[in-house]
C-alpha cells in the first residue's frame, strides 16, 4: 500500500540533506498520514481513508461533499 493521501494524492518528497562539507545525501520526506473513517452523507456510508493531517483539518472545516466539489470539479 502506497504512502499517499487518498483524496489529495500527497506523497513523499525527495530532498537532499547537505552536510557542513557540502556532501549531498538523498532523503525522502514522508507525509503525515492517518487512517480516518469519513461519513458520506450522499451515500449514507462510512468510508475508511488514509489521509494527510492537513487534509483532515480541511475536511473538518469544510465537510466531505464541499471538499470534493471544490477540489474535484
How many structural domains are present in the chain? 1
Cα–Cα distance for residue pair 24/30, rounded to 1 Å: 19
55 falls within a domain: yes
5 falls within a domain: no
Per-residue pLDDT, 35: 96
Cα–Cα distance for residue pair 52/64, rounded to 1 Å: 14
pLDDT tens figures, 14-61: 999 999 999 999 999 999 999 999 888 888 999 999 999 999 999 999
6 falls within a domain: no
Q: Which residues contact 55 (CB under 8 A, 6 or more apart)?
A: 5, 7, 8, 10
Domain that holds residue 52: 13-66
CATH no. for residue 37?
2.30.170.40
Per-residue pLDDT, 72: 77
Amino acid at each position: 500500500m502506497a504512502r499517499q493521501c487518498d483524496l489529495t494524492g500527497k506523497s513523499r518528497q525527495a530532498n537532499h540533506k547537505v552536510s557542513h562539507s557540502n556532501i549531498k545525501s538523498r532523503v525522502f520526506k514522508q507525509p503525515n498520514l492517518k487512517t480516518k473513517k469519513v461519513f458520506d452523507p450522499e451515500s449514507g456510508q462510512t468510508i475508511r481513508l488514509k489521509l494527510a493531517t492537513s487534509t483532515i483539518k480541511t475536511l473538518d472545516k469544510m465537510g466531505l461533499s464541499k471538499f470534493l466539489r471544490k477540489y474535484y470539479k
